[in-house]
Structure formats: C-alpha cells, structure tokens
C-alpha cells in the first residue's frame, strides 16, 4: 500500500514510517516542517489549508494522520488565545485530512486521538469509572483534548456520509527507553501520575497499532484506547486507587500493576499485542 503519514517528520511519525517501510509499504511523509533532501517520500503541506491536504494525499491508498500541535500558553498573556489556536489548528487539519481522503476515495484514515478525550488531567471532574475504556464518556478538559474529541465527531460524519472507516487511536503518553530510565526519580511523588492514571504506551507499540489499524476489518468510525497493559508506577494499582482515587467506582478486579486505561478493544479488533514495558528496561 502507498500510505500518506501526516506529521511524518514528528516523533511518532518517524516510528510509524519505519514500521510501515519494514512491512513493505510505500510511505509519503506529509509535514509542514521542511525535510532536507526532499524526494518522493516527502510532501510539504500545511494541513490547515484544505487544498494543501488534497494535494498531499493525491495517490495515497490510506492515511495515518498524526500532524497536530499544542500551542504553548506562554505565547500570549491570554492563555485562551493559545487554546483557540490549538483547537482551530487541530480540528481544521483533521477536517481537511478527512475531506481530502473523501476527495480521493480513500476509505481508511488511521489518526491520533488522545487519552485526554476521556478527561485527563481530571482537574474538573474525576473519572466516572475505572479502568477507563471506550464506554467512558468523552469529557475533554482542555482545548487540545477538545480538538481530538471534535476529530472523533468528524470521523462519524465522514463514515456516515462517505462510507469511510476511520480509526481514532487514543494514545496514552508515548514513551521510549530513554524516558524509562528517568522513571524512578518520580516514584517518591506518585501523585504526579494521577493526571492520566499512571498510564503510558511504548513508542514502538504505538507504531505497530497504526500499522494494524490500516488493514483491520472494521465498520464505520472506531475509537480505541492505546495504552500499555501496566502502569508507570512501582506501587501496586490497588494502592494507587486507595490513595488517590478512593471515590471513583472500580468496575472489575485488576492485576497487581494493571493499567487503569484498558486497551482490550484494540487487542480484540486490531490484534494489537503491546509488547514493550518499562519493567523490561529499568
């Protein structure tokens, strides 16, 4: 397959391009950032412009859409303005990518949503229930999360109107070996991980989830949690729940260090088997 990878020069994009190339796919990196030695594997495009998205996806059989931004609040005295810029950039780019896919008759757009659509950092409200899974209400607390939730809404429209089968992958915080080495320094302050329930996902496993989502047999728009099966913490999950989530209902028995973000649906629908844990590296 010939696959356009938006945000292909970014951190996850580079891993996805390598994963797809390793499985015999042709890739085109679509990015607003310039790439030295531009060639057939790269198209520069600012996806906030529809015509640029349409040009960039010409000739692709499928899309992995990773391009997004989080504008730092410190860019302005009024953080609401930075929030608006983040929302507009991401919601518009995601609309444009879906619309460009419709123009070219591309059915499968695999794209980066986020764990944050379900409420992290949980400053406004606690989770409704744990572990988090696809049955939890979508309750974004930030404009970045709102832009991802809007993308999930757009995906349903494009599935309904054009028969597309978009797959939203709700990545947890993406980490790699370098970051695993730094983890022990946070163990004295377990409260720091509460904002996303001590969850993470390995970069290489994320790349595999994108590849599998390109060919999984799915109907309509799908959204899937993508998190490692274990927590980032050295403390058992039951202890974390007692200490930091005592008021949140827990819907089932959990393993000793089991994640509070459940990816069982991705395991079932994609055949995704997250293979890498910080516990093997530290």
Ligand X SMILES: O=C(O)[C@H]1OC(=O)[C@H](O)[C@@H](O)[C@@H]1O
Ligand Y SMILES: NC(=O)C1=CN([C@@H]2O[C@H](COP(=O)(O)OP(=O)(O)OC[C@H]3O[C@@H](n4cnc5c(N)ncnc54)[C@H](O)[C@@H]3O)[C@@H](O)[C@H]2O)C=CC1
CB atoms within 10 A of CB 244: 15
Q: Is 71 in the site for ligand Y (CB under 6 A)?
A: no
With beta carbons less than 8 A apart as the criterion, state whether 6 and 66 touch. yes
Euclidean distance between CA atoms 44 and 267, whole angstroms: 34
Nearest to 232 by CA among 272, 171, 174: 174
Euclidean distance between CA atoms 167 and 64, whole angstroms: 9
CB-facing half-sphere around the CA of 65: CA atoms within 13 A: 37
Q: Which stretch binds ligand X (CB under 6 A): 108-116, 204-212, 220-228, 259-267?
A: 108-116
Q: Is there a catalytic annotation at residue 180?
A: no
Q: Is 134 in the site for ligand Y (CB under 6 A)?
A: no
Interface pick for ligand X out of 114, 209, 237, 261 (rule CB under 6 A):
114
196 binds, among ligand X, ligand Y, none (CB under 5 to 8 A by kind): ligand X
> Which residues in 156-215 contact ligand X (CB under 6 A)?
171-173, 196
> Which residues in 253-282 contact ligand Y (CB under 6 A)?
none
Q: Which stretch binds ligand Y (CB under 6 A): 18-26, 40-48, 80-88, 99-107?
A: 40-48
With beta carbons less than 8 A apart as the criterion, state whether 11 and 67 touch. no
Task: Name the closest residue to ligand X (Cβ).
Answer: 114
Q: Is 190 in the site for ligand Y (CB under 6 A)?
A: no
Nearer to ligand Y, 45 or 159 (CB): 45
Distance of CA 232 to the CA centre of its chain: 18
Nearer to ligand Y, 74 or 253 (CB): 74
Lookup: tokens for 85 = 């810029």
Interface pick for ligand Y out of 2, 11, 160, 273 (rule CB under 6 A):
11
Q: In a 3-state reduction of DSSP, which class is residue 169?
A: strand
Helix or strand run (H / E) with residue 10: none
Q: Is 48 in the site for ligand Y (CB under 6 A)?
A: yes
Task: Determine which one of 42, 144, 180, 200 is catalytic.
Answer: 144
Phi, psi of 234 (to 5 degrees): -85, -5
Q: Is 118 in the site for ligand X (CB under 6 A)?
A: no
> Smallest gap, in angstroms, from Cβ of residue 238 to ligand Y?
26
Q: In the beta sheet, which residues pair with residue 4?
A: 28, 63
Which positions are catalytic?
144
Q: Which residues make up the interface to ligand X (CB under 6 A)?
A: 114-116, 120, 171-173, 196
């Amino acid at each position: 397959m010939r696959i356009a990878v938006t945000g292909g020069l970014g951190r996850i994009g580079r891993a996805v391009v390598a994963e797809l190339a390793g499985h015999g796919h042709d890739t085109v990196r679509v990015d607003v950032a310039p790439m030295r030695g531009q060639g057939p594997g790269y198209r520069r495009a600012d996806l906030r412009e529809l015509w640029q998205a349409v040009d960039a996806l010409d000739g692709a059989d499928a899309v992995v859409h990773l391009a997004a931004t989080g504008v730092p609040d410190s860019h302005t005295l009024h953080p609401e303005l930075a929030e608006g810029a983040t929302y507009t950039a991401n919601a518009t780019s995601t609309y444009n990518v879906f619309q460009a896919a419709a123009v070219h008759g591309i059915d499968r757009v695999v794209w980066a949503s986020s764990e944050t659509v379900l409420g992290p950092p949980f400053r406004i409200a606690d989770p409704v229930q744990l572990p988090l899974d696809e049955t939890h209400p979508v309750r974004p607390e930030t404009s970045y999360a709102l832009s991802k939730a809007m993308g999930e809404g757009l995906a349903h429209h494009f599935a309904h109107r054009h028969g597309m089968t978009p797959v939203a992958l709700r990545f947890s915080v993406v980490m790699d070996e370098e970051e695993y080495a730094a983890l022990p320094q946070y163990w004295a302050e377990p409260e720091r991980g509460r904002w996303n329930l001590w969850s993470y996902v390995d970069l290489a496993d994320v790349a595999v989830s994108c590849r599998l989502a390109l060919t999984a047999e799915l109907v309509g728009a799908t959204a899937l949690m993508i998190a490692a099966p274990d927590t980032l913490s050295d403390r058992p999950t039951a202890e974390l729940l007692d200490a930091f989530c005592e008021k949140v209902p827990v819907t089932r028995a959990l393993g000793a260090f089991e994640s509070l973000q459940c990816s069982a649906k991705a395991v079932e629908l994609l055949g995704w088997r997250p293979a890498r844990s910080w516990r093997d590296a530290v």
